Amino acid sequence: MGGLQALCARYARAVGSSENPADLELGRELERLIGWAWWRLGREIPNDLSRTGASVLKTLHEEGPQRVTALAAGEPVAQPTMSAIVQRLERRGLVSRGSDPRDGRANLVQITASGEQVMRARVQARAQWLAQQLSGLSEQQRQTVLEALALIGSRLEEPIADG
């Protein structure tokens, strides 16, 4: 099987399939909307972090110090690639490395105060832009959107069934 065919087959095995065409259509529309919103946020909000760099900061902010190997597995990228990303973030003062108290031979990467500040500013800018886009909604429309987001969020938090 060629590279593209193998990749498509891997995607299909990873998620299974829906028997309900309405579910598939809803999934396609949600994927399109998420992709479009992600693209617009990336275009509209100034950002000098790569997507992976921003993801690393978010992971360290939410989960605490991590080894480079754990960060690489979470993205997923190769460990040398993650080392380079961490080095760039470290040069900018957004992360620091320290000894792992459980294993003195290993290092842990942690977010710095500057990294936390960048994360807060990034979240605030994105939230403000989204708020501007939604500012014309009526109270009923806002409530409908909040309910839909809560429903979608609860469905996306469910564990993925192993096929």
Taking the chain (163 residues) in runs of 10, the rounded mean pLDDT of each run is 67 66 88 92 86 93 94 92 96 94 87 95 93 95 95 80 45
pLDDT of amino acid 11: 63
Which domain covers residue 107, as residue numbers? Answer: 51-112
pLDDT of amino acid 145: 95
pLDDT of amino acid 90: 97
Residues linked to residue 119 through DSSP beta bridges, in sequence order: none
Q: Are 161 and 16 in contact (CB under 8 A)?
A: yes
CA distance 82 to 122: 21
pTM of the model: 0.73
Give the tokens for residue 161. Answer: 């069934």
Residue 86 inside a domain? The answer is yes
pLDDT of amino acid 158: 67
How many CB atoms are located within 10 Å of the residue 61 CB? 16
Structural domain total, the chain:
1
| Residue corresponding to tokens 């938090």 | 157
Residue 5 inside a domain? The answer is no
User: What is the SS3 assignment for 103?
Assistant: strand
Q: Residue 103's domain is classified under what CATH number?
A: 1.10.10.10
Residue 29 inside a domain? The answer is no
Residue 31 inside a domain? The answer is no
pLDDT of amino acid 14: 61
CA distance 108 to 119: 19
